[in-house]
Amino acid sequence: MTRIDSFKSIIDKYEVVFFDAFGVLKNYGGLLPGIENTFAYLQEQGKEYYIVTNDASRSPVQLAESYTSKGLMAITPDRIISSGMLTKEYLDLKVNDGIVAYLGTPDSAHYIDSSGLHTLPISEVNESNIDRVNALVFLDDEGFDWGRDLNKSVNLMRKRTIPAIVANTDQAYPLTKHDVSIAIGGLASMIEKIVGKAFIRFGKPDSQMFMFAYDLLRERRAISKKDIVMVGDTLQTDILGGNKFGLDTVLVLSGNTQAKDAENRITSTGIVPTYICDSAVVELGGFAF
C-alpha cells in the first residue's frame, strides 16, 4: 500500500483517466509544474481524459479558461464535468417554473440558468416573491453576506416545502498553504441540520458525478469501467467515490494528502486506493526520445 507507483506506468494500463482538479492539476501557486507533460503523453498515446470536479462556482467554459490562460491548452470545456452541471440537469428535469433562489456569485448562478426558471440571489427573496421560489441552490461560499443570507436561507426552507440542492459537497477547501475556508457544502450542512430537512447533494463521492462522466464517454465510444482510472488527492471524495463506482483509483500526494500521513489515513478511514503516486506529472524523459 505504501508502495509509490510511476504515474506513467499507470496511464499505460488504462484507456481513460479521470482527474480531480485542485491538488492534482493545480494548487495555490497555479498549475503543477510539468503537468502539461501528462496531457501531452495522454494525447500521444490516444487516451481519453476528463476533469471531474466538485466546483460549482463557474461554468466549464470559465473553468477551462483558468487552465488555457496559463498555457495548459488540453483542458477544454468539453473535458470538464462539474457538480454544477448535475445541479443544472436536476433543475432542468425537476423544477419547471418559478424562481430558483441561490447562494453564490452571479457567475455561478448564470451557469444554472434554465429555460423557464428565474434565478434570484437569496438576498432578494422577500414577502412578495417567496411563494414563487421553487428551489434553493447552494453554489459558492462567495457572493453573499453570510450573517444575513444564511439566516434568510434557514427561514426560506422553514416556510417553503421545496428542494434544496447542494452543488458542492466539500465542507472546507484550502485557501493558502496554512489556511482553509469553510465551503458552501459546510454552510449547507449546518442549515440542513437546523431545518431538519433532507437536502440533495451533488459532487464526489456521490456516484452521480462519475456516472455523468461515464455517460459522456460512452456517447463517444464503447468502454468498460475496468478501462478507467480515477486520480485524486482526497480519500473521502476522489478515492471513495471512484472505488464505489467500480473504478481503479490513484491517490496522488500533491494536495490534501501528504506523504507522511498517507498510510495512517488509509488505515484509519479504510479507503484504499489501487495505486499511490507522488503526483500526476509524467516525467519528460519517460516518453520523449
Binding positions for its own copies, rule: CB under 8 A: 1, 89-90, 93-94, 145-147, 150-151, 154-155, 157-159, 161-164, 171-172, 178-182, 186-187, 189-191, 193-200, 206-208, 211, 225-226, 236, 240, 243-247, 266-272
Nearest approach in angstroms of CB 36 to its own copies is 32
| Residue closer to its own copies, measured from CB, 118 or 244 | 244
Helix axes 83-94, 207-220, angle to 10 degrees: 90
Give 166: exposed, middle or buried? Use CB within 10 Å, 0-12, 13-18, 19+. buried
Query: Which residue in the block uniquely carries the three cell numbers 499511490?
Result: 276
Nearest approach in angstroms of CB 289 to its own copies is 34
* DSSP alpha helix (H) spans, the chain: 7-11, 35-44, 60-68, 83-94, 106-112, 146-159, 184-195, 207-220, 240-245, 259-269
Nearest approach in angstroms of CB 148 to its own copies is 9
Nearest approach in angstroms of CB 202 to its own copies is 8
| Residue closer to its own copies, measured from CB, 47 or 244 | 244
Measured between alpha carbons, how far is 214 from 115 in angstroms, rounded to an integer?
Answer: 26
Measured between alpha carbons, how far is 283 from 134 in angstroms, rounded to an integer?
Answer: 51
| Residue closer to its own copies, measured from CB, 219 or 289 | 219
Do the strands 26-27 and 228-232 form a parallel or antiparallel pair, or are they unpaired?
Answer: unpaired
| Residue closer to its own copies, measured from CB, 7 or 199 | 199
Nearest approach in angstroms of CB 15 to its own copies is 15
Q: Is 201 helix (H, G, I), strand (E, B) or coil?
A: strand
| Residue closer to its own copies, measured from CB, 69 or 161 | 161
